[in-house]
A and B are shown apart, each in its own frame.
Chain A
Amino acid sequence: MNFEEHAAKTCILAAAGIATPQGRLCRTPAEAAAAVAAIGAAVVKAQVPAGKRGKAGGIRRADTAEEAETAAGAILGMAIAGHAVERVLVEARAAIAREFYAAVLPDVAGRCPMVLFSTEGGMEIEEVAAARPEAIRRRRVDIESGFAIADARAMLYGLGLGPDVDAAVAAVLVKLYDAYRRFDAELLEINPLALLADGRIVALDCKFVLDDAALYRQGEIAAAGAGERLTELEAKGAASGLKFIQLEGDVGVLANGAGLTMTTMDVIRHCGGRPANFLEIGGEAYTKSEAALGLVLANPGVKSLVVNFCGAFARTDVMAEGVVKAWEALKPKIPVFFSIHGTGEDQAVALVRERLGIEPYERMEDAVRAAVEAAR
């Protein structure tokens, strides 16, 4: 789950004790004007859970209340990476001496957290990594022993920050790591981390991604997250515990397991068709095939349907029972093509044959080809 900048700053950085500029969250140009009148020269920033806001024109300076009103007026209502901007963060501006980069993220190869630091903050870290990889310091962390001041200082060694800045940055890195652990972050990034002219270290931006699998134990902050942008049907799926992604095609897909579902989509495309959705009923969700079929059929673009089951953990007899029930209740007007193998296949095939009068295909490729042709 992504967090917008203001939520990441107030929920995570404030709790971690990392300083941020004085700021106000505003919903109207008038509120933005009032904020600048109160806090002085500021920057007005679009609040959306997406990067590259600056390039999209979502970040502007405002020295006066009038300028803030104009800036907020321009930014509110913009669409950035598909997100409508409904709020802006108006933040006090201060003279900046240097801009750094700091982050904690998972290192897949090391199977552990990794702390990153660079003196080249303020730009996309991917660009720095591509152009000058040596400008990024990386340190793997033993998750059981943690990340202490000594580890942070070892990371900063030789960068020539000077004793005061060195100590202040090291303290921020330790706080950042502790917050990463405490809040089950998948990513916690400050870019830029500014050294102000007066010597203070302040986080000018913050990106926080909460591990969805840890939502159950992060209830307090989860409410501040932005969530995924979902279509009405996708939200309906999520509410019943189903991962449903609506696509532009016309061949509906119902399969079990992420790998098989993706493969069914791939084969649809390989046969010249277009998949209408991704929908996983793997894992414990295999008992929800009835609700799942309802979702697939409610997608207005669907002209034919492939039901592709290859049961391991998921019992095909249980899934087929759900499909048959839903089919009998909804009486859809579109053709459906089955391929059923694995755990419980004999009962599943018999059920589809008897109740729907449909003969499942021996190969999934044939079922897909038939569905693609029917959708034409």
Chain B
Amino acid sequence: MIVRKTDRVLVLGITGRQGAFWTEKMLACGTRVVGGVNPKKAGETQSGVPVFASPAAAQAAVGFDVAVMFIPPAAAREAAVAAIEAGAKLLVVLTEHIPQQDVMRIHAAAARGGTRIVGPNTAGLVTPGECFVGIMPAFNERVFRPGRVGVVSRSGSLGTLVCLELTRAGLGQSAFIGIGGDPMLGTTTRDAVAALDRDPGTDAVVIVGEIGGAMEEEAAEYAALMKKPVAAFIAGAAAPPGRKMGHAGAIVMGDRGSYASKRRALESAGVAVVDTPAEIPTALRRRLP
């Protein structure tokens, strides 16, 4: 789930307003966009890349590794399954508000097809200096610079802020992995932390979590065994319980998913948990050799 500039990327919904806008940005950042999909505009080009009728047609004509979805919720399941069946190795689902049972069907198809899902409701993946896939400001040099810190985030906006802090501190990033704000994700915090742990370009990891679910607790179990230093910020300490805080996954019921539970789990795993995003670089520096 760390994207590389050699990865061939297919953009589903490439001709829409957002699809076209972000395709231009991706191309400008070095992403190898090999094509797009829109059944009604097959044969045309968008931003200089060919538009195909389906992911299968794109696979046959140019081949792709990664598919990214600029598709509204009601059409998301069908588009995702088409990309999976066409052999996507990685599918980045940006769409928010996909019905939960459609999400389950996407995951079921991915399990059968051997596709890794990132998302739903992710802002995407960035490898500074190489490329990006999604809707992150990878082109903004004040936010993203090549470095050796890997960032895992449920939120795009907060992930952007954390990357900005790392760049300000002169650390930069080896990779940004946006896992998404939905409750049922294809790639969990733990999966992403493990990928960064294995990545030779990464020396330290930042977990940007939020209240709700149990992903930070699971990631803590893995972090306890890591040699690379890990710092974390968890959003939602001041959130009122029992209400969905924008992200469908960000809700506290009883003690489950609470800020206290996550902070406790991460701290007992030796992770430096900070109170504000600006403290992350300092916390990491203290732990880096």
Contact = CB atoms under 8 A, between A and B. Distances in A.
A binds B: yes
Interface of A: 106, 108, 111-113, 126, 142-144, 181, 184, 186, 211-214, 216-217, 243, 245, 247, 255-263, 265-270, 275, 278, 280, 282-283, 310-314, 341-343, 345, 363-365
A256 B247 CA distance: 12
Given A186-B100, A258-B155, A259-B210, 17 more contacts: A113-B104, A143-B108, A211-B99, A213-B97, A245-B243, A245-B245, A258-B210, A265-B238, A266-B237, A275-B238, A312-B135, A312-B156, A312-B157, A313-B123, A342-B140, A342-B143, A365-B278
Given A214-B99, A259-B155, A343-B137, A310 B104 contact: no
A245 B240 contact: yes
Given A108-B213, A245-B243, A311 B100 contact: no
Contact of A280 (B137, B164, B246): B246
B184 A106 contact: yes
Contact of A211 (B100, B107, B140, B250): B100
A313 B135 contact: yes
B117 to A, nearest CB: 9
Contact of A263 (B96, B123, B277): B277
Nearest to A261: B246
A310 B164 contact: yes
B285 to A, nearest CB: 17
Contact of B154 (A111, A259, A270, A312): A259
Contact of B245 (A112, A184, A258): A258
A262 B278 contact: no
A144 B143 CA distance: 42
Nearest to A260: B157
A363 B165 CA distance: 9
Contact of B275 (A255, A270, A312): A270
Contacts of B136: 312
Given A186-B100, A278-B245, A266 B236 contact: yes
A310 B157 contact: yes
A256 to B, nearest CB: 5
B108 A259 contact: no
26 contacts: A106-B183, A108-B183, A144-B109, A184-B101, A186-B100, A211-B101, A212-B248, A213-B73, A245-B243, A257-B157, A258-B155, A259-B158, A260-B158, A275-B238, A282-B157, A282-B246, A283-B96, A312-B123, A312-B135, A313-B123, A313-B135, A313-B156, A342-B143, A343-B137, A364-B277, A364-B278
Interface of B: 18, 73-74, 96-101, 103-105, 107-109, 111, 123, 135-137, 140, 142-143, 153-161, 164, 181, 183-184, 186, 208, 210-211, 213-214, 233, 235-240, 243-248, 250, 254, 275-278
A143 B105 contact: yes
A144 B105 contact: yes
A231 to B, nearest CB: 12
Contacts of A343: 137, 140
Contacts of A259: 153-159, 181, 208, 210, 235, 247
Closest 6 A-B residue pairs measured CB to CB?
A259-B155, A257-B157, A258-B246, A259-B158, A260-B157, A280-B246
| Highest count of chain A CB atoms <10 Å: which of B74, B235, B254, B278 | B235
Main secondary structure of the interface of B (DSSP, over half): loop
Contacts of A258: 155, 157, 181, 210, 245-247, 250
A262 B137 contact: no
B78 to A, nearest CB: 13
A211 B135 CA distance: 26
B160 A341 contact: yes
Nearest to B275: A270
A146 B16 CA distance: 35
Contact of A341 (B96, B161, B184): B161
A275 to B, nearest CB: 6
Contact of B235 (A144, A263, A365): A263
Given A259-B153, A262-B238, A213 B99 contact: yes
B74 A262 contact: no
Contact of A267 (B164, B181, B184, B276): B276
Contacts of A186: 100
Contacts of A243: 244, 246
A267 B235 CA distance: 9
Contacts of A142: 108
A327 to B, nearest CB: 22
Contacts of A260: 155, 157-158, 160-161, 235
A141 B278 CA distance: 44
Contact of A310 (B161, B186, B235, B278): B161
| Highest count of chain B CB atoms <10 Å: which of A247, A283, A313 | A313
